[in-house]
């Protein structure tokens, strides 16, 4: 079986360092917002290129608290993509606002910046671009629109740590960058975790308060907050992993280009494209393929752990029934939802395994052609 991701291989290499760091935390007696949280926040902000970062429970909380800190709530609209993980939109709902979905650019699977302006209404307060699969959204166009229409920008960087657009790291363009340390991410913890990045001191202080029951001073609460702190053990683990991120991302890119070459002789299988001046970090390597569901099922049966991210676009999820979207509203999103399939991708995958994946994809595609 070639899994979509094999975390055990990473652990085999750096497990010793991780165990040492965890044991130190256990022995320290400091389990909440200790020295690792503090140091990791500084290291993370330095990496992304922002003044501040705040450790949180999850990427979902990062998105939710970003909106709260920007005073976005009931009656407000937030423009985003429907081609993403549900958390992007549920964060909008949790803040009390309404998501407005814009179609994608099928070359990148990201929000089509050229379609954003048509979706702006007097209620629009913010845009959440998602750097899906590790590919940056077109941040210059998005920031320009935001500036002209006085909108906030919250970047969903959950799949894109280390990705760059025009030489600048994602998470440093908008008012906030939101990151996830879910174990499958390019920088994954060993449990849940998230981070917010920003450059504005007031916004930073607001998130610090919101993550700690809405008060900067202990037992004094100015507003409704949550308990969303990055666990100290996770912070210690993530500090061990952080110095490897660039190298891991580089390997992911090499693996992606190797897949591209291997698929080159099969033009019916569409491989991912990169936009100009970008540094994609290939959180996923996602192809588009006919008879996708059948191919996917056959791949599972033939030992290849392919995944479909995501089978139902957010505007057609039951969760969003009340928003009144219907099939046909976002044709490019809906089309690609039926075609996309992500293949095994992680820094340690071998060229031989990649060749097996490619051969098996081609074999399974041919099998579906024989049976339809």
Choices 22-30, 55-63, 246-254, 267-275; region in contact with ligand PLP by CB under 6 A: 55-63
CA 303 remoteness from chain centre: 26
Assess 87 for contact with ligand PLP (CB under 6 A): yes
> Of 54, 13, 35, 6, whose CA–CA distance to 244 is shortest?
13
Assess 313 for contact with ligand PLP (CB under 6 A): no
| Closest distance of CB 82 from ligand PLP, Å | 12
Assess 130 for contact with ligand PLP (CB under 6 A): yes
> Of 63, 109, 48, 174, whose CA–CA distance to 335 is shortest?
109
> Of 70, 109, 112, 77, whose CA–CA distance to 96 is shortest?
77
| Closest distance of CB 222 from ligand PLP, Å | 25
Scan residues 185-214 and list those touching ligand PLP (CB under 6 A): 192, 194
Choices 39-47, 56-64, 144-152, 341-349; region in contact with ligand PLP by CB under 6 A: 56-64
| Closest distance of CB 159 from ligand PLP, Å | 5
Structure tokens at 278: 């970008």
Assess 156 for contact with ligand PLP (CB under 6 A): yes
Using DSSP's 3-state secondary structure scheme, residue 270 falls into: strand
Assess 109 for contact with ligand PLP (CB under 6 A): no
| Closest distance of CB 97 from ligand PLP, Å | 16
Choices 42-50, 57-65, 310-318, 345-353; region in contact with ligand PLP by CB under 6 A: 57-65
Q: Candidates 47, 85, 285, 346: give the one binding ligand PLP (CB under 6 A).
A: 85
Write out the H or E segment, with its range, that includes residue 283: none
Q: Candidates 5, 48, 59, 103: give the one binding ligand PLP (CB under 6 A).
A: 59
Assess 58 for contact with ligand PLP (CB under 6 A): yes
Instruction: List all residues 6 or more positions away from 322 whose beta carbon is below 8 Å from its beta carbon.
Output: none
Assess 88 for contact with ligand PLP (CB under 6 A): yes
Bridge pairing between strands 176-180 and 194-198: antiparallel
C-alpha dist (Å) from residue 118 to 111, 115, 124, 145, 327: 13, 6, 11, 11, 19
SS3 for 297-325 is HHHHHCCECCECCCCCCHHHCHHHHHHCC
Angle between helices 35-48 and 232-241 (to 10 degrees): 40
Choices 58-66, 108-116, 162-170, 214-222; region in contact with ligand PLP by CB under 6 A: 58-66
Structure tokens at 152: 């906030």
Q: Which residue is nearest to ligand PLP (CB)?
A: 59
Write out the H or E segment, with its range, that includes residue 103: none
| Closest distance of CB 72 from ligand PLP, Å | 17
Q: Find out whether the peptide bond into 310 is cis, omega within 30 degrees of 0.
A: yes
Assess 155 for contact with ligand PLP (CB under 6 A): no
Scan residues 158-177 and list those touching ligand PLP (CB under 6 A): 158-159
Q: Candidates 10, 53, 60, 284: give the one binding ligand PLP (CB under 6 A).
A: 60
Q: Candidates 182, 248, 282, 325: give the one binding ligand PLP (CB under 6 A).
A: 182
Assess 230 for contact with ligand PLP (CB under 6 A): no
Largest CA distance in the chain: 68
How many residues at the interface with ligand PLP, by CB under 6 A? 15
Dihedral angle sign, alpha carbons of residues 49, 51, 57, 61: negative
Choices 8-16, 40-48, 53-61, 269-277; region in contact with ligand PLP by CB under 6 A: 53-61
> Of 4, 19, 40, whose CA–CA distance to 238 is shortest?
40
Nearer to ligand PLP, 245 or 362 (CB): 245
Residue 213 and residue 225 in contact, taking contact as beta carbons nearer than 8 Å: yes
List of residues contacting ligand PLP (CB under 6 A): 58-60, 84-85, 87-88, 130, 156, 158-159, 180, 182, 192, 194
């Amino acid at each position: 079986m070639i899994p979509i991701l094999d975390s055990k291989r990473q652990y085999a290499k750096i497990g010793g360092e991780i165990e040492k760091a965890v044991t130190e935390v256990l022995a320290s007696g400091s389990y909440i917002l200790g020295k690792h949280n503090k140091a990791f926040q500084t290291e993370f902000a330095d990496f992304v290129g922002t003044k501040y970062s705040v450790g949180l429970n999850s990427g979902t909380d990062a998105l939710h608290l970003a909106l709260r800190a920007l005073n976005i709530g009931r009656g407000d609209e937030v423009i985003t993509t429907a081609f993403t993980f549900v958390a992007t939109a549920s964060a909008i709902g949790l803040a009390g606002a309404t998501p407005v979905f814009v179609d994608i650019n099928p070359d990148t699977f990201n929000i089509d910046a050229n379609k954003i302006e048509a979706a702006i209404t007097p209620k629009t307060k913010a845009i959440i671009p998602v750097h899906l699969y590790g590919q940056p959204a077109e941040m210059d166009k998005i920031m320009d629109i935001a500036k002209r229409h006085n909108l906030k920008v919250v970047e969903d960087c959950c799949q894109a740590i280390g990705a760059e657009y025009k030489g600048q790291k994602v998470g440093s363009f908008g008012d906030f960058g939101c990151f996830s340390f879910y174990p499958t991410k390019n920088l994954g913890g060993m449990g849940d975790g998230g981070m917010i990045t920003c450059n504005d001191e007031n916004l930073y202080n607001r998130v610090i308060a919101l993550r700690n029951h809405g008060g900067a001073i202990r037992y004094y609460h100015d507003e409704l907050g949550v308990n969303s702190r990055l666990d100290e053990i996770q912070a210690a683990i993530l500090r061990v992993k952080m110095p490897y991120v660039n190298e891991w991302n580089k390997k992911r890119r090499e693996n992606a280009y190797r897949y591209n070459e291997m698929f080159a002789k099969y033009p019916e299988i569409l491989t991912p494209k990169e936009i100009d001046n970008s540094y994609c970090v290939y959180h996923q390597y996602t192809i588009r393929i006919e008879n996708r569901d059948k191919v996917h099922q056959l791949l599972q049966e033939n030992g290849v752990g392919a995944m479909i991210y995501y089978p139902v676009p957010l505007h057609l999820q039951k969760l969003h029934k009340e928003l009144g979207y219907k099939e046909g509203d976002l044709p490019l999103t809906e089309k690609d939802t039926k075609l996309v399939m992500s293949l095994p991708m992680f820094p340690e995958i071998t060229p031989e395994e990649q060749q097996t994946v490619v051969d098996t994809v081609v074999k399974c595609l041919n099998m579906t052609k024989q049976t339809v």
